Amino acid sequence: MKNSEVLALKYRPKSLKDLIGQDIVAKTIFNSIKNNKIPNAYLFHGIRGTGKTSIARIIAKSLNCEKGIENLCEKNFCSNCEAISNSNHLDVIEQDCATATGIDSVRDLIEFCRYPPSQGKFKVLILDEIQAMSKAGAQSLLKILEEPPPYVKFIFCTTEIKKILITLLSRCSRFDLQRVNFEMLFQHLKKISILEKGKITDEAIRLICKCSEGSVRDALSLLDRALLSTNDSVMDLNLAQKIFGHFDKTLIIDLLKYVLEGNEEKAIEKYKTIFDFGIEPNIFLNDFLEILYYLKNINLINLSGNSFDMTENNYKELKNLSKQIETKTLILFWQFTIKTLDEISIVSNQDIAIEMFIIRLLHLKERKKIEASDNIEDKNFEKNKNLEFASSLKNKDKNDLINQIKNIAQKEEPQTNIENVNIKDINSFKNLIEVCTEKKEMNLKYDLETNVNLVSFEKNRIEISFNENLKKDFIKTLSSKLYEWTNNRWIISLSKNQGSKSVKEKQLIVDSNEMDEFKKTKAYKKIKDIFEDSKLSKIENIKL
């Protein structure tokens, strides 16, 4: 019966020693149980296939094993370990919260905790995918989690820690399970393939490790599939690539070479070869991104490093190619590939979209060459222009030369015809507002009076603070107009100081004082006697 089991179940860890890639977690749990400092609740977080549920079952066995954790059953199981392994122990409940999410299910669990264990030493509740439990259900667990009976232990497993209530997290001893190291996973799969008498090459096993992304269960499932795909023949890299939908990265490296050479025909032909492997366009683009990443960081990557499934020849090719391509070109290609990943989702024929992607990459490369030549021509043009300008100055006097220099220095200033503008001498903030009125710059005048607080006013320099209603282009507009009106540059600086009240605020204070004074007069009293409901809103001086 054991031989008919899938590898993921057949080689499931039976003790803390069998765990791979989680040494610190295993050591901490072992010491806590050995020293009888067991937390009320464990919480295991990590991606799929890193050992969350396996560790939970090992803890359940460690707490109830008749031999104790130091001599935990591995082959000849005691009654408790046998029952837990077969999922029929009376005191160990394993529940999937994705299917039992409601508060009624939690009530049953709480009821289960009321009575002492009938078969083992502890009652253990293993709740998988705890993030799927409803909010009401999770909240109903809080009290018993904080002060459970001494014989009850909770073990939670989750792949999405952020979805769990923070109040529930605070009551658990949390362990984050890491992705299993590439080399460690490779050695584990190689050992199992030998035990299973499977004929598979190291390169094929490395590809399985790459596809599993650090998940032991995924890796064992892929290994199982690979071993079943061959009888007497050997599973090599080429066959494994066809089975798992991967292809030789040499094809992408060659395609990239043709793109950099500007050979459109060869580049498209190479992509069609990749397409014949049955590769999905989004997988091709992601692998293309991976090659770009390796090119940028090839000096930091080892051939046997994590997630690196290249052959030695591929590694050497990338090493040489990285010396021929600039970083800015790699970054440009990276951004363009990311953009294409979004675009192919709205195109009906994704294969054609990928071909156009390759053609556009070719044109990006050509554009770079054109821009480089344009820069050379621009430099030559500027050089000739400067020579002509220098020769034209030979026949001019000193004053003309100074004027020329001024014009060049001020070429970024607003272009105005100074001869047609009346030059103003602006000596105060009030004077500035008057000039705005004279020049009919009503928007500028409104901002100066209403939204600006003057801090200081000096010759050719104004320091202000402002409120949130000031227009975004106020400083730009004011600087431009001051240069136009005075033929001088002005510095407009913003201050952290509050400054004086705005012109409008000052006027409101004056108006308010005038109205208060007027209300004390006999004239106001006579008006109120005649018009009892009247209200004084404004005082104006009318010239007769």
Q: For every one of its 544 residues, what pLDDT tens digit does the chain have, with 9 covering 90 and above?
A: 455 578 988 898 888 888 888 999 999 999 999 898 999 999 999 998 999 999 999 999 999 888 888 888 877 788 888 888 888 889 999 988 888 777 888 888 888 898 899 888 999 999 999 988 888 888 888 888 988 899 999 999 999 998 999 999 999 999 999 888 888 999 999 999 999 888 898 888 988 888 888 899 999 999 998 888 877 778 887 788 778 877 677 888 888 888 888 888 998 988 888 888 777 888 888 888 988 988 888 877 665 544 445 666 777 888 888 888 888 888 889 998 999 988 888 888 888 889 899 998 888 755 544 444 445 545 554 555 454 444 444 444 444 434 443 343 344 444 444 344 466 788 888 888 888 888 888 888 888 888 888 888 888 888 888 887 888 788 888 888 888 888 888 888 888 777 788 888 888 888 888 888 888 888 877 777 777 777 777 777 655 4
Could you tell me if 457 and 445 are in contact, meaning their C-beta atoms sit under 8 angstroms apart?
Answer: no
Alpha-carbon 398 to chain mean position = 61
DSSP state for residue 489 in the 8-state scheme: -
Write down the residue that tokens 């200033």 correspond to: 413
Backbone angles phi, psi at 535, to 5 degrees: -130, 140
Could you tell me if 532 and 525 are in contact, meaning their C-beta atoms sit under 8 angstroms apart?
Answer: no
pTM of the model: 0.58
CATH 1.20.120 for domain 418-500, yes or no, is no
| 341/285 Cα distance (integer angstroms) | 7
User: 73-82 — which CB contacts under 8 Å span 24+ positions?
Assistant: 74/14, 74/15, 79/119, 80/119, 80/120
| Domain range 2-176, its CATH number among 3.40.50.1000, 3.40.50.280, 3.40.50.300, 3.30.2350.10 | 3.40.50.300
Domain coordinates in residue numbering, the chain: 2-176, 182-244, 418-500
Q: pLDDT value at position 3?
A: 53
Fold of 182-244: Helicase, Ruva Protein; domain 3 (1.10.8)
- Alpha helix (H) ranges present in 65-201? 79-85, 103-113, 135-146, 166-169, 182-195
Could you tell me if 126 and 157 are in contact, meaning their C-beta atoms sit under 8 angstroms apart?
Answer: yes
Q: pLDDT value at position 217?
A: 92
Name the token pair of 248.
């030789």
Which amino acid does the sequence have at 533? Answer: D
Which amino acid does the sequence have at 142? Answer: L
